[in-house]
Amino acid sequence: MIAIVDYGVGNLFSLRSSFAALGAAVTVTSDAAELRRAEKIILPGVGAFGDAAGKLRASGLDRPLRDEAAAGKPLLGICLGMQLLFDTGFEYGKHAGLGLIPGEVRAIAEAVPPGLKIPHIGWNALRFRKPTPLFKYVTEGDCVYFVHSFAARGCDDYVTAETEYGAWLTAAVARDNVFGCQFHPEKSGSVGLGILRAFCELGGSSC
């Protein structure tokens, strides 16, 4: 069973539908006990870093997420959910993340040339940086769907893919059993479904 974390800021319907298309058993939950029972965990998210981090703490779900990740359970953060995996986010102030991957999240306006539209919305190609089991069914240059104004920085040791939007931006990361996608695999067609399938298959299980 894959648990999708419901803490009030995720695009839960699209994710659940994508896993249903793969035939995967999923539950959408805000129950810490269910997170502990699950084989794998998805942390989605849309919105602002500080608000989402505050909701995770208020719900008490930050502790089981850290505990289960430390125990070796596969955890995938998507979009804002990926950003929350890092130490710190600088969106409307400075906010603590989960600290599962070293690095920080900063405005892409600090990196891209003036005049580019922000948020970055649309399909962009992936350039691989390091091998990851999540890209088992992905070919370098495949396009995925992004919607973001912030991106991870200071995390070069963990970047598995990047994308070009006036500058090279972090697109995906991995640290042991903890993974992150800045893009939305659930909105990225067959390429995204391949990434979710690969996540299902971590540890030798299948969808």
- For the segment 77-121, what is each residue's pLDDT rounded down to a tens digit? 999 999 999 999 999 999 999 999 999 999 999 999 999 999 999
Q: Pull the structure tokens for residue 88.
A: 């710190």
Low-confidence ranges of the chain (pLDDT < 50): none
User: What value, to the nearest 5°, has the Cα angle with vertex 25 and ends 30 and 197?
Assistant: 110
Do 130 and 122 meet the contact criterion of CB atoms below 8 Å apart? Answer: no
pLDDT of residue 131: 97
User: Is 186 in the active site?
Assistant: yes
At 206 the pLDDT is 67
Coil vs helix vs strand at 4: strand
Token pair for 206: 């299948």
pLDDT at 207: 66
- The whole-number pLDDT of residue 204 equals 73
Per-residue pLDDT at 143: 98
d(CA 144, CA 50): 26
Q: Are the CB atoms for 103 and 90 separated by under 8 Å? A: no
Residue 172: what pLDDT? 98
Catalytic residue among 79, 155, 181, 200: 79
Q: Which of 91, 162, 184, 200 is catalytic?
A: 184
Pick from 10, 63, 8, 14: which is nearest to 36 by CA?
A: 63
148 catalytic? Reply is no
Catalytic residue among 68, 91, 162, 186: 186
pLDDT value at residue 134:
98
The answer to whether residues 183 and 145 touch, using CB atoms and an 8 Å cutoff, is yes
pTM (two decimals): 0.96
* Three-class SS state of 204: helix
pLDDT at 17: 93
Structural domains in the chain plus CATH codes:
2-204 (3.40.50.880)
CB 174 within 8 A of CB 181: no
**Active-site residue flag, 181:** no
Q: Which strand ranges, in their side-by-side order, compose the sheet holding 86-89?
A: 95-96, 86-89, 101-107, 150-153
